[in-house]
Amino acid sequence: MSQYSVDDLTCIDSTVSCSRCDAVCCRLTVMVMPEDRGVPRHMVTRNKEGLEVMARDEDGWCVAVDQRHMRCGIYEDRPGVCRKFAMGSAYCVAERENYARDNAKTVALKLI
Ligand code: SF4
């Protein structure tokens, strides 16, 4: 569980851009609330606590991600929590850093 909240907009990093990101926020657990009526039902599942959440694919991304463009495929109908997630917020920056660390590539050494 993250120490950050989507409601915390106190320190937005204006250098952060979704255009230079692998949609890492779309790997987080996304609660689907009753008011999120536009979310296609086939993209919704229940987590082990029985709460409705966006389903994720085998790689961990929300099933609504347009994988070709790495952006939301249901943007106009996305859940409220996705609408609240602010680009450059502390939560966003922390998730980007976690993702970068976890996916850091090892550079192979070449013996001469
Ligand atoms: S609904 Fe859209 S914005 Fe929300 S996690 Fe899924 S792909 Fe991302």
pLDDT of 110: 62
Q: How many domains does the chain have?
A: 1
Residue 37 lies in a domain: yes
**Cα 2 to ligand 1 centre (Å):** 18
pTM, full prediction: 0.83
Q: What is the tens place of the pLDDT at every residue in 25-68?
A: 999 999 999 999 999 999 999 999 999 999 999 999 999 999 88
Pocket lining: 26 vs ligand 1, CB cutoff 6 Å? yes
- Gap from CA of 10 to ligand 1 centroid (Å): 23
Within a domain: residue 96?
yes
- Report the b/e string of 1-26 with b at 16+ CB within 10 A: eeeeebeeeeeeeeeeeeeebebbbb
Report DSSP state, residue 104. Answer: P
- Pocket lining: 65 vs ligand 1, CB cutoff 6 Å: yes
Residue 11 in domain: no
Instruction: List all residues 6 or more positions away from 106 whose beta carbon is below 8 Å from its beta carbon.
Output: none
> Is 34 a member of any domain?
yes
Looking at residue 104, its amino acid is A
